[in-house]
Amino acid sequence: MSDFFSMGGYGLYVWGSYLVAIVCIAGEVILVFNRRRTLMKHLSLIHQSNKQEKINETAS
């Protein structure tokens, strides 16, 4: 097992590559989902305020 992690003495380079790759990919996935979530929140806020406006219009 420790043989596997040492990668014949090149562990730092091999795992340094794969670790950063995983961090980059995970980071991109998190960012893109955050973007969607913020957008959805924003859209539903607009929707709510539109609905409220219509109710106010009919009331007045």
Which residues lie near other proteins (CB under 8 A)? 4, 7-10, 12-14, 16-18, 20-21, 24-25, 28-29, 32-33, 35-36, 39-40, 43-44, 46-47
Say if CB 14 and CB 24 are below 8 A apart. no
Max CA distance (Å), the chain: 79
Cβ proximity to other proteins, 20 vs 56, nearer residue? 20
Q: How far is the CB of 38 from other proteins (least distance, A)?
A: 9
Distance CA 53, CA 47 (A): 10
Cβ proximity to other proteins, 32 vs 55, nearer residue? 32
Cβ proximity to other proteins, 4 vs 59, nearer residue? 4
- DSSP annotation of 60 reads -
**Which residue type does 24 have?**
C
